[in-house]
Amino acid sequence: MFLIYFAALNILFEFTLDIFVSGAHHYDNSVNSWFGVNVCRTWHLMFSNVPRERFRSMKQSFILAGLIAIVSGCASVDPVWVSTAMPPLNPLLDKPYSALDAEAQRNVLEAELRVIGKALQAYATDHNGALPPKLTALVEKKYLSASALISSADPSQGQEGGVPDLYATWEQAKATDEPGSSYLYEFSAAPCGWDWKTYIAGNPTPEKLDTNKDGSVSWAEVKSWQMAHGDTVQQPQGGYPKSAFPVVRCFWYKYPEVYTEDASESVVLNLAADLRTVFVSHAWWEKDFSK
């Protein structure tokens, strides 16, 4: 852009200087139009009394002023427009998930959980602090795209639900599975079929847990009580902090390692109940608090 502008001004001034030296009559035979001839004569009249050296000095000053104006104009360009025209590239998108190293894979999965967390925050804001009965409700109500519920680590693309079929130990979570979701949603409205009566603290009755009075105890109702009152594993600490209590769990992290209750490695990524914190834990996450 600068070069084009400089060249155009240079040609214009050389043209004017030539008229100054030769006079407009020199162009009468080379310029056919009346307009062209009169433009040439006008230029001649304007600059005929200007010394050659003075004229060249004017030329340099004018070109310099023009260049400064262009630079100033470019500097005032809205940065938002610039970023829109040339968006930053995400290097992770250039490779399939399986080709990334372990750290990059974890970064991808953490980012995906945080997207879900933001959608849950928006839903809770619009529903007096309540969480949705299922994760796919976020898609149905336009808080999230359907693809956001498919983990990059899930080769089944959501067909096996929140816990891979390979991990038979955790079949108790099948009730929370949702078509098109790779995540275990601990605050699901699905009926809670595991033995919560001997596990959570305080020995609550089903009637006490059934806060919506629909005649059944859901995962969400059991987990809400557990977060507030604790359980038999991490007693006598009482309840859990929201930043350490899982709401959405990615069992596909480090798949296909075998998950067991006594696994020595933390193999599940979790979005905490504060809907912001992402942390890694054992499959039986409560045992992390009993150490």
Summarised one tens digit per residue, pLDDT across range 226-284 is 999 999 888 777 899 999 999 999 999 988 876 665 556 788 999 999 999 999 998 88
- Measured in degrees and rounded to the nearest 5, phi and psi for residue 279 equal -140, 160
Average pLDDT in the 36-63 region? 50
Return the minimum-mean-pLDDT range out of 55-64, 106-115, 136-145, 147-156.
55-64
Angle at CA 220, nearest 5°, toward 114 and 138?
A: 45
Return the minimum-mean-pLDDT range out of 44-48, 162-166, 216-220.
44-48
The order of strands in the sheet holding 246-250 is 184-185, 246-250, 268-272, 278-281
Q: What is d(CA 159, CA 216) in angstroms, rounded to the nearest whole number?
A: 27
Q: Can you tell me whether residue 134 is helix, strand or coil?
A: coil
pTM here is 0.68
| 181 contacts: CB under 8 Å, gap ≥ 6 | 135, 136, 149, 150, 158, 161, 162
Candidate ranges 13-22, 32-41, 234-243; pick with highest mean pLDDT: 234-243
Query: Alpha helix locations (H) across 23-135?
Result: 34-47, 52-75, 79-85, 102-126
Which has more confidence, 175 or 79? 175
Q: Can you tell me whether residue 25 is helix, strand or coil?
A: helix
Tell me the domain boundaries of the chain: 2-85, 98-289
